[in-house]
């Protein structure tokens, strides 16, 4: 976004029109990049097609060639290939523009996870295309050429061949993204490495089914797609275990109450909000956390309101919170004390109360106790409550 469009208040939310203007500018840059690369490749369009057709030409019987069954195919087919190659070569710049558009709306920990995933996804897609060209194509075309019936000349149309190889390029490029998809599923909390490992038999069968649907009807090409998909799935599980292990290491660390300050202090270790979404030196909590904080105390947003407490002061504060919750619960004078306990217990131990208590513990500096309560919320809460708990855990990971 241009400097003239920046608001005077750095913490102000950008208007919707300014986002559309920035998106338009980035789309124009992407189109210009594709056009420039295409202009550089178009003079070599025929040579590029010859390179792509080399695996098939090497397997054709002596005297056989490729043919063009349409009038404009000798010009349009290399033209189409040059345009697709331009998009393929400009992909890093295109993804950089896309990343520049969404990055200001991400938190620091989200950027830290997304950047290596974005780079690795580009590399894996290129590796999948290269694997299809150098390994799969020679084997497929050798099999198809050897299985040609007697009396039939194998003379492939250039347009049909281009559509065939582009479909395989896309299939293998997407298949090599399986480790990225696996890591994202685990990072989002949708599944776990153990759950994925338990589904291994279904994944193997599914890989062969996908290979059957996306490749020619021969066992070789189906196996050449299915086996890498399965191995990449296993690789994704390994990296997911590494990710979970790092999170567990951070979770098991004992908190340092002397080093724990206010959640709204200007400490460099405090988590940062989205770029342009908060003033320098102060952390702006997410909307869900603000609502919970205001329920606890009307002065929740006051940065001078919170001070770190000692362990004994924190325990006394928690006892006071529980006593206040019990006193707010109506009690029938004729009821038995056990009935009263059963009545008040759900209110005290409800998921909403656990979220409030975890947030309170976070503000008091007891991150270990806060994590313990938040893990209970992840097991017992609904989708919205789990999202709030994950938000708080993400902020604890950055603290």
Contact 220, 143 (CB under 8 A): yes
**What value, to the nearest 5°, has the Cα angle with vertex 105 and ends 399 and 9?**
90
Rounded CA gap, 45 and 38, in Å?
Answer: 10
Per DSSP, the three-state class of 157 is strand
* C-alpha of 152 from chain center: 50
Cβ neighbours of residue 42 closer than 8 Å, sequence gap 6 or more = 79, 82
Q: Mind listing the pLDDT tens digit for each residue in 18-62?
A: 888 888 999 999 999 999 999 999 999 999 999 999 998 888 888
Q: Which two tokens stand for residue 215?
A: 């490749």
Q: Which two tokens stand for residue 102?
A: 């969404």
Number of helices (H), then strands (E), in the chain? 17, 0
Identify the pLDDT of residue 86: 93
Contact 221, 140 (CB under 8 A): yes
Q: Mind listing the pLDDT tens digit for each residue in 242-272?
A: 877 766 665 554 444 443 433 333 334 444 4
Identify the pLDDT of residue 329: 54
* Tokens 């309101």 sit on residue: 305
Q: Alpha-carbon dihedral of residues 363, 368, 274, 276, nearest 10 degrees?
A: 40
Crossing angle of helices 137-146 and 45-57, in 10° steps, is 60
Look at the alpha carbons of 75, 78, 80, 82 in this order and tell me if their dihedral is positive or negative: negative
369 to 199, 254, 355, 358, 372: CA distances (angstroms) = 34, 10, 12, 7, 5
**Neighbour-count burial for 253-273, b at 16+ CB within 10 Å, e otherwise:** eebeeeebbbbbbeeeebbbb
Identify the pLDDT of residue 37: 94
Helix, strand, coil proportions of the chain in percent (round to 5)?
70, 0, 30
Q: What is the DSSP letter of 44?
A: G
Rounded CA gap, 289 and 14, in Å?
Answer: 22
* Tokens 């994590």 sit on residue: 371
Radius of gyration from C-alpha coordinates of the chain: 30
Cβ neighbours of residue 203 closer than 8 Å, sequence gap 6 or more = 196, 230, 233
Q: Alpha-carbon dihedral of residues 80, 82, 84, 87, nearest 10 degrees?
A: -140
* Tokens 């206040």 sit on residue: 324
**One pLDDT digit (tens) per residue for the chain, 399 residues:** 444 444 444 444 567 788 888 889 999 999 999 999 999 999 999 999 999 999 988 888 887 888 888 888 899 999 999 999 999 899 888 888 888 888 777 777 667 777 788 888 889 889 999 998 998 888 888 888 888 887 788 888 999 999 989 988 988 888 888 888 888 888 777 888 888 888 888 989 998 888 888 776 677 778 888 888 899 889 888 888 887 776 666 555 444 444 343 333 333 444 444 444 444 334 444 555 555 555 555 555 555 545 555 556 666 666 666 666 666 555 555 544 444 444 444 444 578 888 888 888 777 777 777 878 888 888 788 887 788 888 888 777 776
Q: Which two tokens stand for residue 81?
A: 């290939």
Q: Mind listing the pLDDT tens digit for each residue in 66-101?
A: 888 888 889 999 999 999 999 989 988 888 888 888
Per DSSP, the three-state class of 67 is strand
Phi and psi at residue 110, in whole multiples of 5°? -70, -40
Q: Which residues pair with 157 in a beta bridge?
A: 67
Q: What mean pLDDT, rounded, does the chain reach?
A: 74
């Amino acid at each position: 976004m241009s400097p003239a469009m920046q608001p005077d208040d750095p913490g102000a939310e950008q208007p919707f029109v300014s986002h559309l203007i920035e998106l338009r500018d980035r789309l124009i840059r992407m189109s210009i990049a594709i056009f420039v690369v295409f202009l550089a490749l178009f003079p070599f369009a025929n040579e590029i097609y010859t390179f792509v057709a080399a695996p098939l030409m090497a397997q054709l019987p002596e005297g056989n060639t490729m043919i063009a069954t349409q009038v404009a195919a000798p010009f349009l087919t290399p033209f189409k290939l040059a345009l697709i190659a331009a998009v393929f070569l400009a992909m890093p710049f295109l993804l950089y523009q896309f990343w520049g558009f969404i990055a200001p709306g991400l938190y620091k920990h989200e950027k830290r996870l997304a950047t290596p995933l974005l780079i690795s996804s580009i590399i894996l897609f290129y590796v999948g295309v290269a694997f299809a060209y150098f390994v799969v194509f020679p084997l497929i075309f050798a099999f198809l050429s050897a299985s040609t019936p007697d009396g039939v000349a194998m003379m492939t149309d250039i347009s049909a061949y281009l559509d065939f190889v582009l479909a395989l390029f896309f299939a293998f490029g997407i298949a090599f993204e399986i480790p990225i998809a696996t890591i994202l599923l685990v990072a989002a909390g949708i599944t776990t490495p153990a759950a994925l490992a338990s589904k291994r038999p279904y994944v193997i069968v599914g890989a062969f089914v996908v290979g059957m649907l996306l490749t020619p009807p021969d066992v070789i090409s189906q196996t050449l797609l299915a086996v890498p998909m399965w191995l990449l799935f296993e690789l994704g599980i390994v990296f997911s275990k590494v990710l979970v292990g790092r999170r567990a290491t951070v979770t098991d660390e004992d908190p340092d109450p002397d080093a724990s300050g206010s959640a709204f202090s200007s400490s460099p270790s405090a988590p940062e909000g989205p770029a342009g979404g908060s003033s320098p030196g102060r952390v702006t909590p997410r909307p869900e956390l603000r609502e919970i904080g205001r329920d606890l105390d009307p002065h929740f947003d006051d940065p001078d309101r919170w001070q770190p407490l000692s362990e004994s002061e924190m325990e006394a504060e928690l006892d006071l919170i529980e006593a206040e919750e019990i006193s707010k619960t109506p009690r029938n004078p004729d009821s038995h004390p056990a009935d009263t306990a059963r009545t008040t217990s759900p209110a005290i131990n409800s998921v909403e109360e656990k979220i409030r208590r975890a947030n309170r513990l976070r503000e008091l500096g007891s991150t270990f106790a806060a994590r313990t309560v938040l893990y209970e919320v992840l097991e017992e809460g609904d989708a919205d409550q789990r999202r709030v708990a994950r938000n708080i855990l993400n902020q604890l990971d950055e603290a």
